[in-house]
Amino acid sequence: MIDFYYAPTPNGWKVAIMLEECGVEYNTVLMQLSAGDQFKPEFLAISPNAKMPAIVDHDVEGDPVSVFESGAILYYLAQKTGQFMPENQLATLQWLFWQAANQGPMAGQLSHFVNYAPDGQDYSLKRYAGEYDRNLAVLERRLEGRDYMLGEYSIVDMMAFPWAFIAKPLTASLDRFPNVAAWRGRIKQRPAVRNAINLYKGNQNRGEQNAQNNKLLYNQTAEHLLSIKN
Ligand SMILES: N[C@@H](CCC(=O)N[C@@H](CS)C(=O)NCC(=O)O)C(=O)O
């Protein structure tokens, strides 16, 4: 059995999609990020960056294996199950890193300023909306003449899909990116993807927890992390 540390966000969906697609048994550990579950010492032992998603795989010989960072988790699960791993490993790593270092953080910051700290952030909004679109352009070019990023549907698509899925709520438009829009449509209709996006949907933070009222989540400091005893 795999324990899946999860909250219903785009980063959580990446791993939920893969688990659903592979049909492996998993036990969802729902995290309350706004209440600080990510700072509990037992979770930090699994995910030292104090963020979900993370997994603990008990279905292994010897000690359970824990994995944090969505790209590493997808890669681990693809290796474990023999499913959704593209043939070209080097291209796979490059696109996983691209998502984790570019599309993910830029979309995350855009989401922060659109949904959780909207007041007086004109430059921040402009900056991250521009970067979000720039990453859509990268994807648009990659998908020219291809249905999926590396040919067949694979973990790199699962990695990049969630933040493109929510373009509209992020105030972005896919009108200029027809290849991305078509790819998004193809992935969105997969039953496993729908199951993943519906997983604990009612627990989504739709702006109720925000920079004004939740200092634990939105004003993080080094001191806080350093003060947590193992
Ligand atoms: N690069 C990480 C990003 C994970 C991430 O940002 N998770 C957020 C939710 S979407 C989180 O756990 N936030 C809790 C916090 O910031 O305290 C990944 O792809 O796994």
Q: What is the mean pLDDT of residues 60-72?
A: 98
Closest residue by Cα to atom 2, ligand 1, is 69
Banded pLDDT at 87 (limits 50, 70, 90): very high
In testing the pocket of ligand 1, which one of 52, 66, 159 has its CB within 8 Å of the most ligand atoms? 52
Instruction: Judge contact between 29 and 16, C-beta under 8 A.
Output: no
pLDDT tens figures, 163-218: 999 999 999 999 999 999 999 999 999 999 999 999 999 999 988 899 989 988 98
List domains and CATH numbers for the chain: 2-83+195-215 (3.40.30.10), 89-190 (1.20.1050.10)
State the chain's mean pLDDT as an integer.
Answer: 96
Q: Tell me what pLDDT residue 89 has.
A: 95
Q: Is the CB of 50 under 6 A from ligand 1?
A: yes
**Residue 86 CA, ligand 1 centroid: distance in Å:** 25
Residue whose token pair is 């603990």:
56
Residue with CA nearest ligand 1 atom 11 = 51
- Cα gap 221→109, rounded to integer Å: 17
Nearest CA to ligand 1 atom 5: 51
Q: What is the DSSP string of 66-97?
A: EEESHHHHHHHHHHHH--S--S-HHHHHHHHH
147 lines ligand 1 (CB under 6 A): no
User: What are 104-158's pLDDT values in tens digits?
Assistant: 999 999 999 999 997 878 999 999 999 999 999 999 999 999 999 999 999 999 9
Residue with tokens 């959780």: 116
Q: Is the CB of 112 under 6 A from ligand 1?
A: no
Nearest CA to ligand 1 atom 6: 51
Nearest CA residue ID for atom 19, ligand 1: 70
